[in-house]
Copies of this chain bind each other. A is one copy, B any other.
Amino acid sequence: MQHLIPLDNLVAALSRLPGIGRRTAERMAMALVQDQKGLMRILANALLEADDAIAACERCGNITLSSKNPCDLCIRPRRDAQVLCVVESPGDIIKIEESGGFQGRYHALMGRLSPMHGVGAADLRVDRLLRRITDEKIEEVLIALGTDVESDATSSYLKEVLSTRNVKVSRIAFGLPAGSAIEYSDATTLARAIKGRQEIG
């Protein structure tokens, strides 16, 4: 391939997007430089606009407009201000909001404990969580992390840290996903569903 440095730079930048390998980045870059409708400039402007206009909420870590900080979810009076849902990232907040199953406020850790990737407790927003529990008189912390090893470790760590505080700590339930059958469930999911069984009727 003839080497055009601006093209190489574009491929390198695109390769840093999640899930985009070198071949895909090359295909994207070629499509962009051949595009007749100004897509390169449209995309560049969208990126610059988003970079200017979007910020992390200083309170919960959610993404918000730079001009609206703290974010809507933090200041909306209708929400239950005494329950904090702890998530890994802003994307999780969006998923939980879409579910309609939670009416309290959020706190994004911006990661999870991962010794393998050099992420320790000091890299997460735990200090701010503890401060919020005091300042906002939080009564319940709902941990909404996944089921992988790192999320389990993070959850255990939080439970320990929070045990010295006067708050109820809960974790979202694990069990069969909606629409699934026993027949197709894996052993770990089934074991967790049985362990988390609830009395009915």
**A interface residues, Cβ below 8 angstroms from B:** 1-2, 4-7, 9-10, 12-14, 16-20, 24, 27-34, 39-54, 56, 63-65, 72-73, 89-91, 94, 97-98, 110
Q: In the complex, what residues of B have CB within 8 A of residue A16's CB?
A: 39, 42-43
Q: Which residue of B lies closest to A16 (CB)?
A: B39
User: Is the pair A47, B40 in contact by a Cβ cutoff of 8 Å?
Assistant: yes
10 new A-B contacts at CB < 8 Å, known A17-B32, A20-B28, A41-B47: A4-B53, A4-B54, A4-B63, A6-B50, A10-B49, A27-B91, A32-B47, A33-B50, A33-B54, A34-B90
Which residue on B lies nearest to A35, using beta carbons?
B16
**Would you call A46 and B90 a contact (CB within 8 A)?**
no
Cα-based distance from A9 to B63 in the complex (angstroms)? 15
Contacts of A20 in B (CB 8 A): 28
Given A16-B39, A63-B7, A97-B1, A91–B50 Cβ distance below 8 Å? no
Bound form: Cα–Cα A1–B46 in Å: 19
Task: Given A47-B10, A50-B33, A90-B34, verify A4-B64 contact (CB < 8 Å).
Answer: yes
Rounded to whole Å, the gap between the CB of A18 and the closest CB of chain B is: 5
Q: Is the Cβ of B44 less than 8 Å from the Cβ of A47?
A: yes
Q: How far is the CA of A97 from the CA of B94 in the complex (A)?
A: 47
Cβ-defined contact, A13 with B63, below 8 A: no
> Nearest chain B CB to A106's CB is how many angstroms away?
11
User: B32 and A27: CB pair below 8 A?
Assistant: no
Contacts A31-B18, A34-B89, A51-B41; A46 near B97 (Cβ below 8 A)? no
| Residues on B with beta carbons closer than 8 Å to the beta carbon of A31 | 17-18
Look across to chain B and name the residue whose beta carbon is closest to the beta carbon of A36: B110
Given A2-B72, A40-B47, decide whether A27 and B33 contact each other with a Cβ distance below 8 A.
no
> Given the complex of chains A and B, what is the CA–CA distance between A89 and B28 in angstroms?
14
Sampled A-B contacts (16; CB under 8 Å): A1-B97, A4-B63, A6-B46, A7-B63, A9-B50, A10-B47, A13-B39, A16-B42, A17-B32, A18-B31, A30-B63, A30-B91, A30-B94, A33-B63, A34-B56, A41-B48
